Amino acid sequence: MHDITLSRFLIEAQREQQSLSADLRQLLEVVARACTAIAVAVNKGDLAGVLGSAGSGNVQGEVQKKLDVISNDILLAANEWGGHLAAMASEEMEHPHPIPHRYPKGEYLLLFDPLDGSSNIDVNVSIGTIFSVLRCPAGSAADEQAFLQNGRQQVCAGYALYGPTTLLVLTLGQGVHVFTLDRETCTFHLTQKNLRIPEDTQEYAINASNARHWEAPVQRYIAELQAGKDGVRGKDFNMRWVGSMVADVHRILSRGGIFLYPKDTKDAGKAGKLRLMYEANPMAFLVEQAGGAASDGRRDILDIAPETLHQRVAVVLGARHEVERVAAYHLS
């Protein structure tokens, strides 16, 4: 299997799978190259002067790290000229980025969280890039409205994880596959096919410091997990929280578990912390493709009709039976 490079995988998928067009294949190759460039910058760290704050803020009102800005710039520059995109949207930019007039335009829309896990950059903990691909509606101006499609419309989603090894995890709507970066040849190789998330688990991930702000169904669910063998669940649960969604989701795709970033009352104006278009939708697509489930507590993430590009959402994803239990608690 290791002799199958990302390029070969995509060419073979294009042959076998009508849904993978030559343009989409080219788009994914370019995204993978951009992620390789980000991986190089991440890996050099202080030697390349990429750590620390950029001294600016983004549209989310968050302080930007240098790597947030560098990663955004790398993805924009790599994807502008290929002719496969109609526009791009990023967590770090208020408005969609149109393709400059000097370049041809294509039929796809690319959305990304250029650097996920910003708070982990300066402490050398795993971070990543999350992306999602939509079709640009025919005749559309490729403006913000064009991006407001529900997650089931995604033609592709994935992430790069800059950890001890750099991985690219991808779905084209037919399973979830993992590619490992060979740093010497700068090539991604297929290393795992068709990841599956077990329906049950004994491991959960949540930022417990927000506990007092959670809604009642989440309070109840987590209290039951923490009661372990002595409580209604009758078994002990372990907890892991990296603080980079990309790394927490990767653990769940690798060995199972449930991840929650619920709505909380800390900031009543926000429906959650994570962003629907750049984080929740691509991860929900991957998790469903691996047999798991993804919900905001009340409906499947992928069924949410987006109202704005940067909207936030509660996220509960991973082991199907656990996600269903959390959803049931929200209904009762």
Q: How far is the CB of 113 from ligand AHG (least distance, A)?
A: 5
β-bridge partners, 182: 187
Query: Is residue 138 packed enough to be buried (19+ CB in 10 Å), middle (13-18) or exposed (0-12)?
Result: exposed
From the list 13-21, 102-110, 115-123, 318-326, the region that binds ligand AHG by CB under 6 A is 115-123
Q: Per-residue contact track with ligand AHG, 166 to 185, x per CB under 6 A?
A: --------------------
Residue 86 binding result from ligand AHG, Mn ion, none, given CB thresholds of 5 to 8 Å by partner type: none
Q: Which tokens belong to 261? A: 């970033």
Q: What is the CA radius of gyration of the chain?
A: 19
Query: Among residues 282, 258, 276, 313, which one has the least CA distance to residue 176?
Result: 282
Our finding on whether 117 is near ligand AHG (CB under 6 A) is: yes
Which pairing describes strands 166-171 and 312-313: parallel, antiparallel, or unpaired?
unpaired
Q: Least distance from C-beta 149 to Mn ion, angstroms? A: 20
Residue placing its CB nearer to ligand AHG in the complex, 119 or 308: 119
Size of the site for ligand AHG (CB under 6 A): 13
Residue 245 in the binding site for ligand AHG (CB under 6 A): yes
Contact 274, 313 (CB under 8 A): yes
Minimum distance between the CB of residue 201 and Mn ion, rounded to whole angstroms? 23
Q: What is the maximum alpha-carbon separation in the chain?
A: 66
Nearer to ligand AHG, 96 or 262 (CB): 262
Position among 243, 306, 324, 329 found at the interface with ligand AHG (CB under 6 A): 243
- In the complex, least distance from residue 267 CB atom to ligand AHG, rounded to whole angstroms: 11
Alpha-helix residue ranges (DSSP H) falling in 92-215: 144-147
Question: Which residue is nearest to Mn ion, using beta carbons?
Answer: 116
Tokens of 68: 């947030």
